Amino acid sequence: MADNSAFAALIHDGLFDPSPKESILRVKDAVAKELTALDSTARIKSTDYFNHTFAPDFVMSWPDERSRRVYLRMAYDLDALVDDVALIDSTDPLIFGLTESESIEAKPRVDEVIADSDAMFTEPAALEKLIDRKKADSTANMLSNALAQGGKGSFVGNEAVELADVVQRGFQSAANVETMGTAEAIGAISARFQGQQAWRMNRVLQAVWEGSEGPLSTFPGTADVSGRLNIESLSYLLKYMRTDDKGFWRRVGRRLTLADLESLNFSEPNIQNLIQANLDVISARATIVKPDPLGVDEVPLGGRYRWSKRGRHVTFEAPNLFAVIGSAKTALSDVDEEAAAAVPVEAFMGRVGETDLVEVTLHSGPEHISVKSDEGAINKERLRGVSATFGGSAEVAQALVSSRTGRVTVDLPERSGTGKTQSKVRMADLLMTTIPLVVDVPDDVRKGIEEHLKYEDDNGERPLDLLALEAGEARGEVRALSGGSPLPVPPPFLALEAFTEGVFETDWDSPASE
């Protein structure tokens, strides 16, 4: 025995226990633990058999209903082993030689027998080397899962870690858009994995290649041209990558959408990395903020600011509040409505902070007043003055706010924020704009939210100035798009329009308009 690995040693010691019953228990227990260490997503079910010619010792199964049978084999008698392997009636068995050196010796003969099938032959020390590597190598983590589910051919001695080397180089090469290393990995993946696993691994490599601005036309494998990293591949990365490298998560998430997020498993810690690295591309149209004063609904794990999922909705969590996020206001129709009320003007002013108010609707009883500014923030003193016309009883019902990527209609009684129809407001901006206006947020929490939702624009390019465009449209301006410069912006003005009950300025988005 040429290894000091714990699983291999446990299996070896168990094999030589003189009690048949104890021996089987010990060996199967150690093998089950090793398989679990190889792929923690697998359910490892032990059968009532041991070293049986036809019946498997274990059945590994996965949440997607796939399964694989595991046959334990003694590899001392090479002829018997080869004959036994040939008798296994399964399309893709995992044949587990119980001892290392005999399995290495048997490899050439076993290879001949399993050459045209999806069978895999391995031994405890070979898998253990890969398992040990998982701690330091995120690709080994992904690889070991793929191997358990769809490895084919022999993996004895150093073959599993050698494949991990090739795949790791492939990921590094794909991140640098280098053909040679990527192609080598693709070749190895194709040779060493069954179809579905090979496709999945290749798709992840392609995602890294594309995320690194590599043209699909030069990707050295069969490119998936569906255009986006599909959910399956993304889920795979979330589950098996062990990296918090923002650059990596940014590369694979450049086309991430809110709908993608809604399909992903938020119990994976990597989801936080994925979202944080891609705040600059994830758009959202609507959010409803819920106070959680006692923190009873706070997610017990993770930081004070984090992403989670409630029901099917992506949710942003902060101390004593959470914000449910949707691709449209109608998508949040199942979120319970709060019995919130409009906010007195003074209280509203306390919440505004640095927020750029474009328009604010005050009301007092049946009367509504819309206060509107075409440039920058509404002068607070002016707003106070307007509210005074109601005799100090005015409350704020709605506000139109400009964010970095578009305007947001904030409805205080609903505690909601809705992006303007024409704009593509980023989820982070929607939240940063809405939350402080609809609930009372302590300064430290407000800063925490801003810090958590801060992002840099992709490639340092300034996004399209939707705010200016919308402002122009709102005033019926003609914008000289082809010339690249807008017509001179008129001087700032404050519109004061008084309405009576039932009459309302409808320039804003409302649920009905969506």
Partner 1 sequence: MTRIEGESAQAKGADGAQRAKRWLESTTRVNAQWVNPNPPAVAKLTFPWPHGGQNFSFDLGGLLKFGGYDGHEFFAESKNYAEPGDLPKHYSKFLAQCYVTYSLIPARSDHFMWIAWSPHSITDWSKLTTAEYVRTHVVKHRERVFGTDDEGEAEALVNDDIVSEVASRLWLVVLSKKQETLVISKEHRGVIDKYEAEKGD
Nearer to partner 1, 113 or 401 (CB): 113
User: Which of 249, 252, 211, 257 is CA-nearest to residue 427?
Assistant: 257
Amino acid at 240: Y
Q: Does 20 bind partner 1 (CB under 8 A)?
A: yes
Q: Does 485 bind partner 1 (CB under 8 A)?
A: no
Taking the complex as a whole, how short is the minimal distance between the CB of residue 431 and partner 1, in angstroms? 44
Dihedral sign for Cα atoms in the order 192, 197, 201, 202: positive
Task: Count other C-beta atoms under 10 Å from residue 114's C-beta.
Answer: 21
Q: Which string of b and e fits 15-49 if b means at least 16 CB within 10 Å? A: beeeeeeebbebbbebbbebbbbbbeebebebeeb
Sole binder of partner 1 in the list 8, 35, 114, 198 (CB under 8 A): 114
Q: Does 97 bind partner 1 (CB under 8 A)?
A: no
426 DSSP 8-state letter: B
Ranges within 368-407 binding partner 1 (CB under 8 A): none
CA distance 495 to 374: 9
310 DSSP 8-state letter: E
Stretch of residues binding partner 1 (CB under 8 A), selected from 115-123, 223-231, 413-421, 457-465: 115-123
Stretch of residues binding partner 1 (CB under 8 A), selected from 108-116, 235-243, 269-277, 500-508: 108-116
Stretch of residues binding partner 1 (CB under 8 A), selected from 112-120, 210-218, 388-396, 462-470: 112-120
Stretch of residues binding partner 1 (CB under 8 A), selected from 20-28, 153-161, 201-209, 391-399: 20-28
Q: Does 183 bind partner 1 (CB under 8 A)?
A: no
Nearer to partner 1, 95 or 318 (CB): 95
Q: Give CB contacts under 8 A, 24+ apart, made by 459-464.
A: 463/404, 463/405
Nearer to partner 1, 90 or 421 (CB): 90
Q: Does 118 bind partner 1 (CB under 8 A)?
A: yes
Cβ partners under 8 Å of residue 346, min gap 6: 384
Cβ partners under 8 Å of residue 320, min gap 6: 291, 292, 293, 294, 295, 298, 445
Taking the complex as a whole, how short is the minimal distance between the CB of residue 79 and partner 1, in angstroms? 3
Sole binder of partner 1 in the list 2, 87, 296, 339 (CB under 8 A): 87
CA distance 291 to 435: 10
Q: Where are the beta strands (DSSP E) in 12-97?
A: 43-46, 58-61, 67-73, 94-97
The rounded radius of gyration (Å) of the Cα atoms in the chain is: 30
Sole binder of partner 1 in the list 6, 25, 32, 82 (CB under 8 A): 82
Nearer to partner 1, 45 or 447 (CB): 45
Nearer to partner 1, 151 or 417 (CB): 151
Taking the complex as a whole, how short is the minimal distance between the CB of residue 22 and partner 1, in angstroms? 10
Ranges within 48-77 binding partner 1 (CB under 8 A): 48-56, 59, 69, 74, 76-77
Binding mask 30-49 for partner 1 (x = CB under 8 A): ---------------x-xxx
Cβ partners under 8 Å of residue 135, min gap 6: none
Nearer to partner 1, 118 or 123 (CB): 118
Sole binder of partner 1 in the list 88, 104, 256, 396 (CB under 8 A): 88
Cβ partners under 8 Å of residue 235, min gap 6: 264, 265, 268
177 DSSP 8-state letter: T
Q: Does 108 bind partner 1 (CB under 8 A)?
A: no
Sole binder of partner 1 in the list 3, 39, 92, 374 (CB under 8 A): 92
CA distance 194 to 309: 34
Nearer to partner 1, 19 or 217 (CB): 19
Stretch of residues binding partner 1 (CB under 8 A), selected from 89-97, 339-347, 388-396, 443-451: 89-97
- H helices of 320-426, where? 345-352, 380-388
Q: Does 358 bind partner 1 (CB under 8 A)?
A: no
Nearer to partner 1, 61 or 243 (CB): 61
Taking the complex as a whole, how short is the minimal distance between the CB of residue 341 and partner 1, in angstroms? 54
Taking the complex as a whole, how short is the minimal distance between the CB of residue 87 and partner 1, in angstroms? 5
Secondary structure (3-state) at 298: coil
Interface with partner 1: number of residues (CB under 8 A): 44
Nearer to partner 1, 51 or 190 (CB): 51
Stretch of residues binding partner 1 (CB under 8 A), selected from 79-87, 254-262, 302-310, 334-342: 79-87
Secondary structure (3-state) at 47: coil
Q: Where are the beta strands (DSSP E) in 294-405?
A: 306-310, 313-318, 321-326, 343-344, 356-364, 367-373, 395-403
CA distance 252 to 376: 36
Sole binder of partner 1 in the list 117, 158, 172, 257 (CB under 8 A): 117
Amino acid at 400: L
Residue where the block lists tokens 């800063």: 447
Partner residues linked to 180 by β-bridges:
none
Stretch of residues binding partner 1 (CB under 8 A), selected from 86-94, 243-251, 358-366, 493-501: 86-94
Interface residues toward partner 1, by CB under 8 A? 15-16, 18-20, 23-24, 45, 47-56, 59, 69, 74, 76-80, 82-83, 85-93, 98, 113-114, 116-119
